[in-house]
Structure 1
Amino acid sequence: MIRRTHPDQNGHKTLTSSHVQPVTKRIAVCRFVVCCCLLLIGESGLQTQAQQSFGGNPLAIGAEQFSTLGAPVDPFLQMPPINTDSLLAIDALPGNRIGGLKFAHTLFTDLSPETAGVTFTLEDSLWVWKVGIRSPGAYSLNVLFSEFKLPDGAAVFLYNSDRSTILGGFTNRNKPDGGEFSVAPVDGDELIIEYHEPLHAAFRGKIRITEINHDYLGLFRSGTRFNQLDLPCLPEITCDNSLDSLSHSTCLLIINGNTYCTGTLLNNTAEDGRPYVLTASHCLQNNASYGSRVITYLNYHSPRCNPLIRGSVAFSLSGSQTRALSNEVDFALLELNELPPADYRPYLAGWTTDTVNTSHPYVNLHHPWGETLKYSLENDSLVPANWT
């Protein structure tokens, strides 16, 4: 989670953790929800004290000179050049325009304390691994940890060169069982990963980076491709205060570090607050295993009804499990690994299998081209339909 402070929200129902059970709802129910994409808000919000980072800070600039290294070092690795024009041309080919919007190119690598960067000891108490990634021209960089098994007291930080964005500390509380761990993009074309481990930790942590994603589209730039179309039928969500609660049910998803889609926080019949997210199967490239590689952003809204002002990307969560997926109906039901904290102000959208139109206008919320949340209205009645 990016280091920013947000006010607590009061008056919401508190969530408690519950044992996870497989989803057994009939696909027809989910098909109706996906088909409509016009969701009613649930009666209660979510509230929890869960956090996605657990304190601490990266080392001060130049701290290496007071370590066993004795002097500052350059930990950066240079990535191969990226031809953005070629990537955009490939993305535009008809056969490649399937799935979510691709915004980043994946570079496969193998970075660990044994293979890259520098390691050193600081003040006879802390063992540090530090590695930098430089990929010229990237709007942002993000990485996939294929191994993330940390002892108690260890933490990982990610930040750019000017430290305008700092992620972490990420600890074994983020991934108690180890395994893959995805992180949000960090602005700029230079990324530093810093791992801290107590000298007397119970075991040496296992940490390995195998994928680096170079953002060539500028996913979080303000006023980008879609906003340049200037479509008055798709205003910013912040232009209509009556949609405030509804807006907190819609989220931007980054899948596999290189693709974006839209999802919706969804209520369930037990009303137990489990954080389900409904999206499309094609967003996961029809691959259920990609559920573990999802970063979920809530509240990615343009402030003050102005598409030229960048929205906040501070409200993020890492990881999920795919509970149900159908390529034929094109839906995927995910369950987030973490409960959204109270200051995210999340709401669970309601749904129904009733095909009788009860009210309108209908509201559609989404993130076109990965931009800030927008809405459109349909004043006519909906006509239920099936497809094969």
Structure 2
Amino acid sequence: MRAMRATLAALLLIALPFAAQAYKPDLDSLSNVARLHLDADAVASAIAAVRAQPRQFAVGRDLGAHVADGSWDEPQAGVARWRLRLGSDGAESLSFRIDALSLPADAALYVYGADGKDLQGPFTSASNGTLWTPLVRADDAIIEARMPYAEKSRFSLTLGRAFHGYRAFRARSAIVAKGALGDSGACEIDVACPAGNSWQKQIRAAVLLQIAGMYLCSGTLVNNSAQDDRPLILTANHCDVDSGNVSETNVYFNVQKSSCGGNADGPINQVIAGKTVLAKTSGTAVTDYTLFELANLPPSAYDVYYAGWDASTGTPQSGAAIHHPGGDDKKISVYTQSAQSVDNVCIGSDPACRGAFRVDAWAVQWAQGTTEAGSSGSALFDQNGRIVGTLSGGDGDCAGTANNGGTDYFARLDRAWTATSSTGTTLKAALTPDGENKMTLDGKNRSDSGGGSFGWLSLLMLAFGAVCRRGRAQRRMVLRTVAVLGLAFPFVSSAYSPELASLPTVAQVRLNPVTVKNALESAKGQPLQFAVGMAIEAGVADGTWDEPEAGLARWRLRINSSGAHALNFRFDDLQLPEHAQLYLYTNNGADVQGPYTAARNGRFVTPLVRSEDAVIEVRMPYEEKADFSFASASAFHAFRDLDSKSFSNTSGTSGACEFDVACPIGDGYSDQIRSTVLITIVKGLSEYLCSGSLVNNTSEDGTPLVLTANHCGVDSSTIDQTTAYFNVQRSACGSGTVGTVTQNIAGLSVRAGTSGKTVTDYTLFELASKPPSSFDAYYDGWDSRGNSPTSGAVIHHPSGDDKKISTYTQTAQKTDNVRITGGGLLGLSGFSVNAWGVSWANGTTEEGSSGSGLLDRNRHIVGTLSGGNGGCSGTSNNGATDYFARLDQAWTASSVTGVTLKAVLDPGNTGNTVLDGRDASGLGSGSSGGSNSGDGSGSSGGGGGSFGWLGLLPLTLAALRRQRRIRD
């Protein structure tokens, strides 16, 4: 058996190409590697000669090095490794042009910094010929090739040129064409800052371009009318991507900070080369665009978005640009005033426009941020999130921490649409290949076929094919491996069932009851609060490690808070390794939440588990154990019972006059019941409850938008600590099983919300993913006309209880400037709304019902609950009035995000004021399947995820140990 395990390990390593193997550079032996060094004086002279070039960020130096100039070794049996080290004093970055590259079929080439960072590759024989490598941010880089020893003689290359990156001085006179590498100004805004909250999709489309090794621009991945994921990049013509250098152009995705103003640089290892220029400004046309295609589709791990566009002549009223100023991490700039149409504007410093170019442009002045050199080619997005132009130039810049009030000019998309193209193919023809006369197109997510490329089974089949010539015993071994692999990897491929027998051996932290009691006293009188938080005096070292399977490390920590009805947790600076998975569950194995993956790294608030005793568990490959950490953690002790009608607090209970949605009065609202969600919001060390509704939009694309009340406090500071729970309801009227809390999705971004002193009370936010099909969700319709509803219902979670329904049979009354006392999470003494006044025929509302949607007799939402005097009087309601902020008043009112409720719910600007609801399965591409909570298989970062084929190996061997009856 031992021999079979060893053979299997060697077999997979040999059978699979080096490009399929996870790789970590060996830095300990770098001192033995041959080294070349660029001449510092020659580099300095080259930089001095090009300082006035606005788009240049690097200088090139010829090398002429060959394989014989590098070092060979054999790091493991049967593996040949070639390395060459190149340094250039003071370089901010290094990249290379490799000529006459000849990689054998099973070889892989990498480039990385001498510190092991910015690992680029693997590049395979598909890159043979001329390879323009991506950047590494170092002044000392290593080029490495690995291959089977038998293929060593077939490897060759000529290292033709090295590019030394420097930080350029940028001209500031006249209207300067943008482009150059360097830190951006102090008024620039990271896309992770609140200004980016409403532009999360478009942020995923923005890219950084490196052209011919020496020049930088910005660009955008764009959709086309075939919606076939063809990887098309739109940028500016003056960025000079053309047929001669498109293959020398590298496109970088997701070069951005993970937190607002964070210190860490964005990653630069998600890179795809250009392939073909499809359309481009021709001659003296007053346009400035280039559309080119990438050599490959962006992998699912890049989590890209294909931006939509608008080639009509409508003036953009507000919007944003997402760009890489000075080659910096991705930034966002926002405008709130209408752009101005300016024809024949000269982009250049010469008054007579000699050596420059002219464009018909949208002139934009920024409310937040600006653009700089390097921003050229970035898209101007309108209020509907569609591209309407590409940045040509301008005099916008920073003046300290504010912008200078200058104007930037974006070449208009509508003027480029049918203009003469230097390729003979117009922009219109390239973006509407189906021949339809579309002038607008919405953006879209990448279409995933599921399972990704290869997957573990396909890789094993490749291995099987590779060893078919090596003998019958090896073939039998691979087939047995396929048969037992499901046993080896149960915690990824199937639902997770916690192992409870060993819990008595797990370290436990008990929250201090005195601290809890003091916190509860402070929470009295807070109507929406249901939990109090406190710091956990524990870290990774306080948990318990074990090895339940060979090669698998498991960390667990048990948290207890006496008397808690539920517990949940907030991690600060959570760092889950690449292949780790985090779960949360009760001490009896109920309410399993997860798996959560490295996609949640940073600040992460978990959903609830209904117990006073919870277990946090993290599972990972043993070799990643040291990479798991978190800076601090807080626990939230729920003092309200989320599945009962009695609570221990003094702020009210779900009264005896409330009706479960499973009762007969809910029969006519089965669809709308499926759209209603319970919302929890963490702010500081307090946690709050509200209700909300999943709503449809006129594109009917399944964008998961939740409508709730502004006073519930979902905003840019709490959105990542907001969770929406679906189907928290009893299975029978007044009885039956309690509602689940494992069908939940975190918040992603606030799309629109009450601004200033407007008489509205609404927030519309987007969830991090679409509800899986198992949630059986429904997207509510709405009516923004302002007609008085004559009858209807509200579906809500009073006091956080299981879902209830209340109905009204008399016409709601228009009531303007009604004063709502108490400010919810906003800390206000009160606020005013223009409302529908409703008296209930059945049921009522209570604290926790805030934000629920008022449905009219057509089952359309016409308002959101702000407050009122409604309550129970025994088993009947008290006959008082509740007030719902009117949807028609919010429709076009000022929004805190700068984007109105109308613009978000009618993204196509159809003018519809009424929209019916729809099943999730009938919207867009439909809901993804998947488990209840956690990071589903369609989410970025992996969720259900996989260790990759190499991570499978130790677990496969463990499974083989359990299969001792298998013999040759």
**Structure-1-length-normalised TM-score:** 0.73
> In structure 2, do the counterparts of structure 1 residues 49 and 292 end up closer, same or farther at CA, with 3 Å as the change threshold?
farther
Instruction: Give the 3 Å change call, closer, same or farther, for CA 228–186 of structure 1 in structure 2.
Output: closer
Deviation at 1:58, TM superposition (A): 6.5
The separation in 2 between residues aligned to 1:56 and 1:314, in whole angstroms, is 13
Could you tell me how far apart the structure 2 residues matched to 1:181 and 1:54 are? 24
Hey, what does 1:236 align to over in structure 2? Answer: 660
AA aligned opposite 2:763: A
User: How much identity, in percent, do the aligned residues show?
Assistant: 24
Correspondence for 2:639: 216
Say which of 227, 231, 247 aligns to 2:673: 247
1:249-301, Cα deviation, whole Å (9 max, x unpaired):
111011117211001111223222100001122212x6431111112111112
Q: Give the alignment partner of residue 586 of structure 2, picking from 140, 156, 160.
A: 160
Letter in 2 for 1:76: Q
Give distance in 1, aligned partners of 2:774 and 2:520: 37
Tell me whether 1:303 sits opposite 2:731 in the alignment: yes
CA contact (8 A) 2:790 2:812 kept: no
CA-based RMSD:
3.4
Q: Partner residue of 1:44?
A: none
1:335 counterpart SS class: strand
Q: Quick one: which amino acid aligns to residue 279 of structure 1? A: T
Letter in 2 for 1:344: F
Structure 1: 5+ residue stretches without partners:
1-16, 26-47, 65-71
Question: Could you tell me which residue of structure 1 aligns to residue 499 of structure 2?
Answer: 60
Matched positions, count: 327
Deviation at residue 166 of structure 1 after TM alignment: 2.5
Counterpart in the other structure of 2:876 = none
Match for 1:80 among 497, 512, 517? 512
Find the residue that maps to 1:301 and give its secondary structure. Answer: coil
Q: Distance in 2 between matches of 1:190 and 1:258?
A: 18
| SS, match of residue 248 in structure 1 | helix
What is the Cα deviation at residue 88 of structure 1? Answer: 5.5
Aligned to 1:11: none
What is the rounded CA distance, in whole Å, between the counterparts of 1:18 and 1:263 in structure 2?
27
For 1:300 and 1:162, locate their aligned partners in 2 and report how far apart those are by CA, in whole Å.
20
Larger radius of gyration: 2
After TM superposition, give the deviation of residue 312 of structure 1 in Å.
2.6
Q: How does 1:35-74 map to 2 (within 5 A)?
A: 55=494, 57=496, 60-61=499-500, 73-74=505-506
Structure 1 residue aligned with 2:768:
337
Offset from partner CA, 1:110-132 (integer Å, 9 cap, x none): 54324x22334455512232212
Separation in structure 2 between the aligned mates of residue 278 and residue 20 of structure 1, nearest angstrom: 24
Task: Give the unaligned 5+ runs of structure 2.
Answer: 1-303, 309-318, 320-381, 385-447, 451-491, 818-831, 833-968
1:184-234 superposed Cα distances (whole Å, 9 cap, x missing partner): 21222211211112123498234455210011222x232325776321xx4
SS at match of 2:693: strand
Secondary structure in structure 2 of the residue aligned to 1:156: strand
Aligned to 1:274: 703
Shift of 1:381: 2.4
Question: What amino acid does structure 1 have at the position aligned with 2:801?
Answer: E
Distance 1:203 1:361 in 2: 60
Which residue identity lines up with residue 602 of structure 2 in the other structure? G
Aligned AA for 1:301? Q
Q: Does 2:803 match 1:364? A: no
Distance in 2 separating the partners of 1:295 and 1:151: 24
Compared CA separation, residues 383 and 61, structure 1 to 2 (3 A): closer
Letter in 1 for 2:699: A
Return the offset for 1:325. Answer: 2.7
User: Deviation of residue 78 (structure 1)?
Assistant: 1.9
Amino acid corresponding to residue 721 of structure 2 in structure 1: R
1:167-182 map, 5 Å: 167-172=593-598, 174-175=599-600, 178-182=601-605
Cα-to-partner distance string for 1:345-373 (whole Å, 9 max, x where unaligned): 1111122221224x642221211111122
One-letter code of the match for 1:148? L
Q: Is the CA contact 2:497–2:589 (under 8 Å) kept in the aligned structure 1?
A: no
Q: Within 5 A, what are the aligned runs for 1:108-123?
A: 108-109=535-536, 111-114=538-541, 116-121=542-547, 123=549
Q: Which moved more, 1:288-297 or 1:141-150?
A: 141-150
Which amino acid in 2 is paired with 1:356? N
Match of 1:138 in 2: 564
Name the counterpart of 2:610.
Answer: 187
Give the direction of change, closer, same or farther, for the CA distance of 1:251–1:212 in structure 2 (3 Å limit). same
Name the CA shift for 1:216/1:57 in 2 (closer, same or farther; >3 Å).
same
Task: Single out whichever of 347-356 and 320-329 deviates more from structure 2.
Answer: 320-329
Which residue number corresponds to residue 397 of structure 2?
none
Secondary structure of the corresponding residue to residue 311 of structure 1: coil
Determine if contact 2:516/2:532 at 8 Å carries over to the other structure.
no
Which amino acid is the alignment partner of residue 264 of structure 1?
S
Supply the AA of the counterpart residue of 1:223. K
- Deviation, 1:149, is 3.5
Amino acid at match of 1:238: A
Contact 1:54/1:168, CA 8 A, preserved across alignment? no
Structure 2 residue 770 is matched with structure 1 residue 348 = no
Aligned counterpart, 2:928? none
CA distance in 2, matches of 1:272, 1:375: 28
**TM-score (ref. length: structure 2):** 0.31
Call closer, same or farther: CA 1:317–1:148 in 2, change over 3 Å. Answer: same
Letter in 1 for 2:805: Y
> Aligned pair in 2 of structure 1 residues 73, 243: CA closer, same or farther (>3 Å)?
same
Q: Residue type of the partner of 1:370?
A: G
- What is the alpha-carbon distance in structure 2 between the residues aligned to residue 80 and residue 301 of structure 1? 32
- CA distance in 2 between partners of 1:326 and 1:224 (Å): 34
Q: Distance in 2 between matches of 1:244 and 1:18?
A: 34
What is residue 534 of structure 2 aligned with on the other side? 107
The 8 Å contact of residues 573 and 632 in structure 2, kept in 1 or not, is answered as yes
SS of 1:252's equivalent in the other structure is strand
- Does the aligned pair in 1 maintain the 2:591–2:741 contact within 8 Å? no
Match of 1:377 in 2: 807
Distance 1:238 1:49 in 2: 37
For 1:145, the aligned partner's letter is F
Structure 1 residues 103 and 19, CA gap change in structure 2 (3 angstroms): farther
* Cα distance change of structure 1 residues 124 and 344 upon mapping to structure 2, 3 Å threshold: closer
Aligned pairs for 1:15-34 (under 5 A) are: none
Q: Distance in 1 between matches of 2:563 and 2:620?
A: 32
Q: Deviations 1:300-337 (Å, cap 9, x if unpaired)?
A: 12222115752232322233322223264332111000
For 1:196, give the aligned amino acid. R
CA displacement 1:95-152 (0-9 Å, x = unmatched): x44xxx21111012354324x2233445551223221212122122111122334333
SS of corresponding position for 1:238: coil
Q: Secondary structure at the match of 1:103?
A: strand
User: Secondary structure in 2 aligned to 1:259?
Assistant: strand
SS of residue in 2 equivalent to 1:305:
coil
Letter in 2 for 1:143: F
1 or 2 for the larger relative contact order (CA 8 Å, sep ≥6)? 1
Residue in structure 1 matched with residue 690 of structure 2 by the alignment: 261
Instruction: Supply the distance in 2 between the matched residues of 1:89 and 1:201 (Cα, whole angstroms).
Output: 43
